[in-house]
């Protein structure tokens, strides 16, 4: 059945569910009180699995820099934590993260360490690191691709703590 808007009832219900899910991710991101915005770009097609493996390696190396060689034994609260959203998984794959950095991480160091680590893990890649001054707008930008019906909520939403080993 088509509604006055020309959309089917099923499409409209799916859109409402997607909107509610996006709002839940926005709230979750805000509640985390992130301090750093991080964008990591592959600049080549490596697929979602290959990209997530590089993300896991990146955050492991970053924690090692800040927490030392026994970083894996640190509690999750001491380690880098955050939520990221993968976009353009079939073309120009990249991610946007809102992260809570370890206590001894500073923005200038974060930029240097991100460059050093990401250039080794993904030589074709680029990055952007910024201090979060206001959460408004950030989470909306990070979740913008979730508005599309083909967004894979399971595969494209990344929790850094899921990489903990």
Rounded CA-CA distance 159/30 in Å is 14
Give dist(CA 129, CA 8) in Å, integer: 41
Question: Mean of the per-residue pLDDT values for the chain?
Answer: 83
Ramachandran class of 8: left when φ > 0, alpha when ψ lies in -120 to 50, beta otherwise? beta
The Cα 54–Cα 10 span in angstroms is 37
Collapsing DSSP to helix, strand or coil, 40 comes out as strand
**pTM of the complete model:** 0.83
Residue 151: per-residue pLDDT: 67
- Encode pLDDT of 81-129 as tens digits: 999 989 888 888 999 999 999 887 887 789 999 999 999 999 999 999 9
CB 160 within 8 A of CB 83: yes
């Amino acid at each position: 059945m088509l509604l006055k808007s020309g959309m089917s009832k099923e499409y409209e219900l799916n859109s409402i569910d997607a909107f509610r899910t996006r709002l839940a991710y926005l709230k979750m991101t805000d509640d985390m009180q992130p301090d750093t915005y991080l964008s990591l770009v592959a600049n080549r097609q490596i697929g979602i699995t290959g990209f997530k493996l590089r993300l896991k390696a990146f955050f492991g190396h970053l924690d090692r820099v800040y927490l030392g060689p026994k970083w894996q034994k640190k509690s999750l609260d001491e380690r880098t934590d955050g939520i990221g959203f993968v976009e353009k998984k079939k073309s120009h794959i990249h991610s946007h993260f809102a992260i809570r950095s370890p206590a001894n991480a500073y923005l200038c160091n974060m930029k240097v360490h991100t460059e050093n680590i990401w250039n080794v893990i993904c030589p074709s890649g680029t990055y952007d690191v910024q201090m979060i001054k206001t959460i408004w707008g950030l989470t909306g930008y990070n979740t913008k691709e979730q508005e599309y019906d083909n967004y894979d909520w399971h595969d494209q939403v990344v929790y850094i703590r899921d990489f903990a080993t």
